[in-house]
Structure 1
Amino acid sequence: MTTVRVAVVGAGAVGCYYGGMLARAGVPVTLIGRPVHVEAMKRDGLRLTTATSDDRIPVDASTDIAAVAGAALVLVCVKSTDTESTAAELRAHLAPDARVLSLQNGVDNAPRLQAALQRPVAATVVYVGCEMAGPGHVRHLGRGELVIPADIGVPVEDPGLTSADIVALFARAGVPVQVSDNVLGESWGKLVINCGYNAISAITDTDYGHMMARPDIAATVHGVVDECLAVAAALGITVPGDSHAGIDRIAATMPGQVSSTCQDLRRGKPTEIDHLNGHVVAEGERVGMATPLNRTLQALVKALEAKRAA
């Protein structure tokens, strides 16, 4: 499996973490991202810092999306706001039997990619805390597991990777991967967590541990979860597990993590709020359900975006 070449489109924190873990295990990895990170990685390798290690990992890096050519596995890790534009550039360079996985926030990116690429795209649920600590430097803060579909949507006779192959590839890198027959429900489970944490972390500029240590904030987070679950149920989506327990587990396992929405606001970048709390608001409207907490959080983050862009 080390001969399988992997391309990561969107070498931010998530892309660099999973690309770095694979590369550290000897898998050929090409990271495609912004010049500031690519230049650092070409010069010094990718720096991957975890609780137990601090490694410089040799990787191929490029700013040109054409560098995906020949990759058997393509991990799309761009922001939700960049999905269609990335797909438009990516389409001409994918190998015929390449497997495309969407490692993105929200629940609508894989279908949007699939429509734009006109080929199967596997939604992948990502549970990892990480951040870019500097050019070409990713810091791991907690967890790291993935959930992929049992059926990745390709014909049996297709010579490309199977779900089992992908699990084995990541297992070699020490990344646990669960195969699920209900990835839509799993994706909504992750969306529920994002809706609970992301906006409030961004608005308060606070990590998860300090957020949930405040009873008033914790109650609000759980209220957001209730709204999300009600919308999912109205859509006929079964969200597995106990989402409220999952919310509490996040604070316990990643207390120092701030949300990606918080990181975006700190850097003056557009957030994915319309694909997180905003998606729940839109789906709630579609089924005639009010979602006042999600609507308020979406509006407040949009206001902060506008203020920092002014």
Structure 2
Amino acid sequence: MLKLLMVGAGGIGGYYAARLLESGHRVILTARGDHLHALASHGLKVYYEGRELIHRPEALSHQQLAAGFHPDDFDVIIIALKSTATVLVTKELGTWLRQGRVPVLSLQNGVDNEPLLADVIGTERIIGGLAVRIGGHIARPGVVEAEGVAEIVMGEWPAVGKPGSARSLLLKKLAAVFDDSGIPTTLSDNIRYELWRKLVINNGVNPLSALTGLDTRSLTHHPELSRIVYGMMAETVEASRADDVNLTQKDLHEMFELISSFNAIKTSMLIDREKGRPLELDSIAGAVLKRCTSLGIDAPYTSTIATLLKQQAS
């Protein structure tokens, strides 16, 4: 049995926590506000494709966590927060995290979360990761709805270290635990490549869906809007050169075919907009625009959609 800390119990963190709890692992959750109160009072309920997963894990605020636990009480700390909260969590938990040596796995959108975490606790403790083909959100406090295959891809960040290192051994153990818990998991020797490939999809559909109110299938099968999706994805491929990841036309084609094959999914950014929550625009479109600027190239699709979305949401 593993002891895991899930920082963030929203649609992604709540779903994965429920699957791990179902397999008998101890998972402690952190949350805020009404969601935290509901989790602490009534437990976690997850609706997933016809199933109902109900558990009573310990749910804490960051302050309660730091007061009651040492980081090394856990086998791994998983961060499943929106990328808009990464800086805040490093401020609230940075001092506490530095007290231990436990590895930290990021399951967040974007390519800038791992560098932010590494600045706080050191590169050698970071595990890069991404949740793939999963849609999830908090339906109401204490209740999460999720759908999709809900895979995880993870690997040593920024690159694979020495064979047999503590981090590599933990990754193999985690992959086995996740698979046994019904979470299909793949280990990657190049996690930065995988993070950028996901950013290609995220930048292609998230901002545009939040702007138009349309799901992924409506966007990718629309004769005009699909061209904008493809254009934003192509700009993300170009931006990857700034990080020496160097995605190719093949990656662009594969990612466009993949998102076009999905069922009609409401993107996380669209859900956030509907619920009046902060958008992950800076960590998705902003990450692309920042890198295109550094390369001296234009990104007209991403720039236009991001500008329109900011104007519409203001």
Task: Specify if TM > 0.5.
Answer: yes
1:115 deviates by 0.1
Amino acid at match of 1:40: A
The 1-side partners of 2:114 and 2:256 are apart by 24
Question: Which residue is equivalent to 2:152?
Answer: 146
Question: Which residue is equivalent to 1:224?
Answer: 232
Q: Is 2:116 aligned against 1:112?
A: yes
Q: Is 2:252 aligned against 1:243?
A: yes
Task: Figure out how many residues of one structure are paired with residues of the other and give that number.
Answer: 303
The 1-side partners of 2:212 and 2:257 are apart by 18
User: Which residue, 174, 179, 203 being the options, matches 1:171?
Assistant: 179
Distance change >3 Å, CA 152–CA 23, structure 1 → 2? farther
Segment of structure 1 superposing worse, 232-241 or 43-52: 232-241
Q: Residue 7 of structure 1 aligns to a residue in which SS?
A: strand
TM-score under structure 1 length normalisation: 0.89
The 2-side partners of 1:92 and 1:228 are apart by 34
The 1-side partners of 2:202 and 2:96 are apart by 32
Amino acid at match of 1:142: G
Q: Residue 105 of structure 1 aligns to a residue in which SS?
A: coil
The 1-side partners of 2:168 and 2:293 are apart by 40
Amino acid at match of 1:278: G
The 1-side partners of 2:312 and 2:162 are apart by 42
Q: Is 2:258 aligned against 1:253?
A: no
The 1-side partners of 2:201 and 2:208 are apart by 12
Amino acid at match of 2:94: R
1:62 deviates by 1.3
The 2-side partners of 1:245 and 1:217 are apart by 18
| Contact 1:123/1:149 (<8 A) preserved | yes
Q: Residues 90-105 of structure 1 correspond to what in structure 2 (within 5 A)? A: 90-94=93-97, 96-105=100-109
1:155 deviates by 9.7
Question: Which residue is equivalent to 1:34?
Answer: 32
The 2-side partners of 1:64 and 1:277 are apart by 29
Aligned residues: CA RMSD = 2.3
Distance change >3 Å, CA 175–CA 226, structure 1 → 2? same
1:223 deviates by 1.3
Q: Is 2:60 aligned against 1:62?
A: yes
Q: Is 2:77 aligned against 1:74?
A: yes
Segment of structure 1 superposing worse, 114-123 or 137-146: 114-123
Q: Is 2:294 aligned against 1:275?
A: no
Segment of structure 1 superposing worse, 4-13 or 88-97: 88-97
Q: Residue 150 of structure 2 aligns to a residue in which SS?
A: strand
Question: Which residue is equivalent to 1:201?
Answer: 209
Amino acid at match of 1:99: P
The 1-side partners of 2:285 and 2:177 are apart by 33
Gaps of 5+ in 1: none
Gaps of 5+ in 2: none
| Contact 2:171/2:187 (<8 A) preserved | yes
1:211 deviates by 2.1
> Residues 53-77 of structure 1: CA distance to partner in whole angstroms, max 9, x if unpaired?
1121221111235526322211112
1:301 deviates by 2.0
Distance change >3 Å, CA 133–CA 251, structure 1 → 2? farther
Distance change >3 Å, CA 79–CA 114, structure 1 → 2? same
1:161 deviates by 5.9
The 2-side partners of 1:39 and 1:79 are apart by 19
> Residues 276-303 of structure 1: CA distance to partner in whole angstroms, max 9, x if unpaired?
1111111011011111111112112222
